[in-house]
Structure formats: structure tokens, C-alpha cells
Amino acid sequence: MSDDLREAAFSAGPLLLRPWCRDDIPALVEAYRDPTMLDRLRDLITDEADAERWLRVQTEGRESGTRFSFAVVDTDLDGRPVGNVALKYPAPGSGSAEVGYWTAARARGRGLAPQAVEALTGWAFTAFADDGLRRLDLLHQVDNHASCRVAVKSGYAFAEILPTRPPWPLDGHRHVREADEGCPGRPSAGGRPVDRSFDRTVVQDPLEQPVIAPLTVDVQIARSHTDHLEAGLGEHPL
């Protein structure tokens, strides 16, 4: 792993995205005390020991090149992390990876999530262009309307329903962003236009989502859905 990737950090407006460090442990413990976080995530942090274990996982992910987690710091606030965005790249050199995120309660409702996700997206496609990265997936449970809105605002078009898999009681949504995707309707890397009709419905009325027939999904994608949610990557937006 190159030092550039191991130490990667970048900015998006007032947001600084940087590697997590031990100084962030108090912010991590505080963030995971939030009832919404407790309800959405399985990988819980209740004390300093849990936080140190979580940090080790993130560090190991960077070293292996399979997971790049970034503390999201709002420089307009107090300099403490207000959330996490992550790139999950389980097969470096493959054409696809996943993005995910969570937020601290104190920073919600400020519209920071699309900025953070967009910044991570641009970094990922640039950093791994030579590895052939062409597609990013963003996953969330169907009842997480806020995550759905963030996905849309970040340019991730709705792709399909992922069927429920234990231990998750609900189906999931898969949103997709292609490397050469620009404005709505532009052909994706697969050569077909991006369908944003569902996206517009979500933006207009996120609590009245249209009924969509479940699609047959690849076993690997379905397994990725479960792994992604277990890792706590995409369950609560900034």
C-alpha cells in the first residue's frame, strides 16, 4: 500500500476527510451513544476499548487496501469528527466497490452528507482509476429514507431491491454511481441511460415511495448487502 493511499486526506468545502486516529476516541464513543445509531448499526462502540478495536479495523483496512474509512470533520465546528465515510474495496483491482457513511447526531440536518459522499466518490474514482474501478454501490435498508435521499443527492441512481437476509429484517436498496456518469440521463459505463425516475420520486416525497417488484440479484451482491450492513457502513447519513 502506497503512502499516498495510506495517508489520504482531502477537503470538500468546510469538510475535512482524514484518517481516524486515537484522538478521535471520545467522539466515537459519544456518536455511538445516540439511540438512532444503536438501532441502525450492529458494530457498537460502548467504551474506549470498543473504539480502539474499531480503529484497528479501519487501520488494517487501509493497510490491506480493502477499506478506507475517513473521519468527517466540519471545520466550522469544533474540529471533532461528525461522521464517517468509507470505501469498501474487498477485491482491489475489480471494477466495483461500495461506499457508506454514518453521522453523529449533533451534525445532522445540515446537508453535509452529499458533500462528504461526493468527495469520497471523486477521490475513489481518481485514486483507483488505474485499477479499473468503474462502479460504486451505495446500500441501505428500505426504511432508511434519509439515506435514500442522500444517495440521490450524491448522484447514486436507484438500481434495484436487495432481498432481506438474516439478521436484517428488511429489504435493501442498491444505488449505483458509474465512473463516467455526469448529468442525469447520460449513458452509464454499461451503455444504458441511468434511470432516475425513482430518484425524483424519492426527492419529491421520500415517505411515499413507489412499490417496486423485487429483482433477482446476483448472490455476491446479496452477500455484499449483508456484509455492508454488518460493517455499519451505510446506515445513517450525515
Mean pLDDT for back-to-back runs of 10 residues, the chain (238 residues): 88 96 96 88 89 96 95 93 95 91 89 93 96 95 92 95 85 94 41 38 29 27 42 41
CATH superfamily, with its number, for domain 3-230: Gcn5-related N-acetyltransferase (GNAT) (3.40.630.30)
So what's the pLDDT on residue 4?
86
So what's the pLDDT on residue 24?
97
Domain boundaries defined on the chain: 3-230
Cell of 172: 435493501
Residue closest to 152 by CA, chosen among 174, 125, 175, 134 = 175
So what's the pLDDT on residue 223?
44
Catalogue the E-assigned strands of the chain: 10-12, 15-18, 67-74, 81-88, 96-103, 135-141, 157-162, 172-178
pTM: 0.77
So what's the pLDDT on residue 110?
87
So what's the pLDDT on residue 182?
54
